[in-house]
Structure 1
Amino acid sequence: MNILDLIQQGENASIEFKEELPRPESIAKEIIAFANTQGGTLLVGVSDDGKVRGVLEQQNFEEYFSNIARNNVIPAINVITQMINYENKNVIVVTIPKGKDKPYQTLNHQFLIRIGSTNRVATQSELMRLFQQSGVFHYDAIGIDNSSFKNINLNKITGYFDNYQVDFFQEEYPENLLKNTDILTDDFHVTIAGLLVFSLNPQQFMPEACISFAHFSGDEITEELIDKQTITGTLDYQVDTALAVIKNNCQRPSHIEGSKTVQNRFSYPDKVFRELLVNACVHRNYAISGSRIRIFMFSDRIEFISPGKLPNTITIEKLSYGVSYSVNPIIVKFMENLRYIDKLGRGLPMVYKIAKENHKYIKFEEIGEEFKVTLEL
């Protein structure tokens, strides 16, 4: 570990300086804020201006910080503590991982997050997102105010149940069938999942539950726009429509050899774009207001940007190997039954494999409250 590199970054979203050894309560707050966000590093013995002051080696610091992480943080978390000598001064380096059991709280029941170089108490919406990441709470099960059975597309519902040999119109109490399949809540409001998959007009209640597509002439967002569209409707319709839009905007230069048309350059099969679209629609965080899925096509790449972070136990590294996760388990269930996905986690590894086999760049990343996939064209 190069401590100088850490110090030169200054205090930021992932680094905190403490000139002196803080009280356990203060340390616990730093651990909780980092764990609830993206993880981070606490340097003890460094002043706010980056000057190394050092600490006196008078106790077992590894045990001290481990005890705080176990006894002053709910739930307990493991941290890594090291003592590093820099210019004949001891600096304690405490590494806090991105938490797998979010949300973490203090003994006084404070849920803290890291914003920039400061910690603050999570707002209600931020706390809700933390619970979503933990799998304790699922936003897609919430009922929509002022919605009811009349907002459901009965033709689509009938076709959906026909696949399971259920005659919807022969049901004595069809509303109860919709309630028992998570399309309606117990008080007969349409659920978020039911709205997004089976309603007549999802955007009536959730105007940002759509896809923005933009095609730029060059490799920067400031270049001239070739095409721009907003794709609305139910999730399956959005996926199908966005796939058609992407295909129409993909340049596929070709030439004739004999009786065959030969592509001049590699083109991705439809299943690659379809998987990335389904992944964005199914796993986005619909609780984040004022944000929508965005697809940016450039001359050299295409970007799929979806609101929301990965769940607690999922890391960027795991995605290319295959993981099955459900931020929105009810939406996943509906889209799986409509044959848009499976639960085996094979989609992103398939995309990764096809890109790599054809020497194309692909990148998965979390940026703030968004998940982004960049695919070289």
Structure 2
Amino acid sequence: MNLQELQTLIQQGENAAVEFKALPLRPEALAREMVAFANSAGGTILLGVADDGTVLGIDGSEQLEEWAMNIARTAVIPALTVTYETVAINATWVAVVGVPKGSDKPYQTGDKYLMRVGSTNRVATQAELMRLFQMSGVFHYDTLPVANASINDLNMAALDSYFANYGFEFSKEADIARRQLLINTDILAPSGEPTIGGLLMFGINPSRYLPQAAIMFAHFNGLEIAAELIDRQEIIGTLPQQVDAAVAVMKNNLLRPSTIEGMKRKDTRQLPPDKVLREMVVNACVHRNYAIAGSRIRIFMFDDRIECISPGRLPNTVTVEKLRSGVSYASNPVLLKFMDNLRYIDRLGRGFPMIYREMQQIGKEVNVYELGEELRVVLPL
């Protein structure tokens, strides 16, 4: 970090990614800041700067770096690797501690799991803590049983069709054998209730128990969400049904201006290929965080772009940059397995690279970014 970058951070004040700390500082106070940043999107701690941005300095302490590193290794659980550097501003030194987005979430100090919210830290709620554990791979939400649901909520015809591909006549099996097969394939939990993944793939009416498992589509006549609404649809059903319906709705709403040359029609507007639309929706359905109960996948179509907004941030080790090269992580392994078996995906990490490549071939650049607890994919039109 150079002087200009440091001055810019100080001028911006404390926020979701920057924290000021004056010295002396208690070790547990620094540990709390590290934990909160690591459990969120990462951040920067400026040692030697007061809360109001006044530069107080670090008094040239030669042991400060070792002290900060020891806190990251011993007071943060699991141990965290941070960066440390010093920058001089008006002959006064400031220590810059860089805390990455943690790759082993959730982190804790003592008995507290902390999250960064705005310019403050807060104890993670039960829902936030569950999402952190899910992101770390400690457990997967799609393997959990659906309360109050039963095997009667599964579509037997769909199960017959699925298992026929593997040589099983599901409907002709004895009840005990069918139940065990469903448990072995993660469609049923050992308790006898459908798993979240099983209900989303083979349920008669998944939204009855999982109202967040739906896609909201809206087509606006303009460039902003406040523009006139042309079309609005709620897409429900199993995930394969949602994917197929969402792609069909987008295609029906995409206008293809054309001219007649000779006896042939020639399109005058290049639009995203069908396979790009399909891959975008599949990724949203398979990788979204279903633990976020109050939010659905949203697809917004504007005059100049399509936005697909999926609840949940990228998992621990995945970044937006890594998506371009095909790095992926199974947030919902049950869903991923069945969507692969049904040929909606191939689990080779080729989805996002294909989206980028196909859009570049028509001269368009895809924009993917995280915003709060959501992942947003923007396809220009």
TM-score bucket of the superposed structures, by smaller chain: over 0.9
Correspondent of 2:173 among 166, 171, 174: 171
| Contact 2:36–2:115 (Cα < 8 Å) also in 1 | yes
Residue equivalent to 1:86:
89
Aligned with 1:219: secondary structure?
coil
Aligned with 1:177: secondary structure?
helix
**1:64 lines up with 2:70 in the alignment:** no
- Partners in 1 of 2:167 and 2:284 — Cα distance? 31
**1:109 lines up with 2:111 in the alignment:** yes
Correspondent of 1:119 among 118, 121, 135: 121
Structure 1 residue 188: Cα displacement: 0.5
Structure 1 residue 120: Cα displacement: 1.3
Aligned with 2:370: secondary structure?
strand
Please, what TM-score do these two structures have when normalized by structure 2?
0.97
- Partners in 2 of 1:146 and 1:44 — Cα distance? 52
**1:42 lines up with 2:45 in the alignment:** yes
**1:28 lines up with 2:21 in the alignment:** no
Task: Report which stretch shifted further, 258-267 or 327-336.
Answer: 258-267
Q: What does 1:263-278 correspond to in 2, within 5 Å? A: 263-278=267-282
Structure 1 residue 259: Cα displacement: 3.2
Q: What does 1:304-319 correspond to in 2, within 5 Å? A: 304-319=308-323
- Partners in 1 of 2:133 and 2:111 — Cα distance? 15
**1:181 lines up with 2:174 in the alignment:** no
| Contact 1:197–1:331 (Cα < 8 Å) also in 2 | yes
Structure 1 residue 97: Cα displacement: 0.5
Residue equivalent to 2:101:
98
Correspondent of 1:355 among 343, 356, 359: 359
Aligned with 1:266: secondary structure?
coil
- Partners in 2 of 1:351 and 1:58 — Cα distance? 51
Aligned with 1:195: secondary structure?
helix
- Partners in 2 of 1:305 and 1:85 — Cα distance? 42
Task: Show CA shifts across 1:54-95 (max 9, x none).
Answer: 121122322221111111111111111111110111111111
**1:200 lines up with 2:226 in the alignment:** no
- Partners in 1 of 2:79 and 2:323 — Cα distance? 26
Read off the aligned partner of 2:179 and give its amino acid letter. E
Structure 1 residue 361: Cα displacement: 2.5
Correspondent of 1:137 among 133, 136, 139: 139
Aligned with 1:227: secondary structure?
strand
**1:5 lines up with 2:29 in the alignment:** no
Read off the aligned partner of 1:365 and give its amino acid letter. Y
**1:17 lines up with 2:20 in the alignment:** yes
Structure 1 residue 170: Cα displacement: 2.7
Correspondent of 1:326 among 326, 330, 348: 330
| Contact 2:369–2:375 (Cα < 8 Å) also in 1 | yes
Structure 1 residue 372: Cα displacement: 0.5
Aligned with 2:188: secondary structure?
coil
Structure 1 residue 310: Cα displacement: 0.5
- Partners in 2 of 1:208 and 1:121 — Cα distance? 25
Aligned with 1:280: secondary structure?
helix
- Partners in 2 of 1:77 and 1:356 — Cα distance? 38
Aligned with 1:221: secondary structure?
coil
- Partners in 2 of 1:58 and 1:259 — Cα distance? 81
| Contact 1:214–1:296 (Cα < 8 Å) also in 2 | yes
Structure 1 residue 154: Cα displacement: 0.4
Read off the aligned partner of 2:131 and give its amino acid letter. R
Aligned with 1:90: secondary structure?
strand
Task: Report which stretch shifted further, 215-224 or 350-359.
Answer: 350-359
Structure 1 residue 260: Cα displacement: 2.5
Structure 1 residue 258: Cα displacement: 2.8
- Partners in 2 of 1:341 and 1:297 — Cα distance? 24
Task: Report which stretch shifted further, 154-163 or 348-357.
Answer: 348-357
Question: Number of matched residues?
Answer: 376
| Contact 2:318–2:328 (Cα < 8 Å) also in 1 | no
**1:244 lines up with 2:264 in the alignment:** no
Q: What does 1:283-294 correspond to in 2, within 5 Å? A: 283-294=287-298
Residue equivalent to 1:74:
77
Task: Report which stretch shifted further, 355-364 or 114-123.
Answer: 355-364
Read off the aligned partner of 1:241 and give its amino acid letter. A
Task: Report which stretch shifted further, 294-303 or 75-84.
Answer: 75-84
Structure 1 residue 257: Cα displacement: 2.3
Unaligned runs of 5+ in 1: none
- Partners in 1 of 2:34 and 2:323 — Cα distance? 26
- Partners in 2 of 1:285 and 1:58 — Cα distance? 45
Task: Show CA shifts across 1:213-233 (max 9, x none).
Answer: 011111111110111111111
Structure 1 residue 145: Cα displacement: 1.1
Structure 1 residue 171: Cα displacement: 2.0
**1:52 lines up with 2:62 in the alignment:** no
Structure 1 residue 237: Cα displacement: 0.3
- Partners in 1 of 2:298 and 2:269 — Cα distance? 26
- Partners in 2 of 1:118 and 1:228 — Cα distance? 38
Q: What does 1:201-240 correspond to in 2, within 5 Å? A: 201-240=205-244
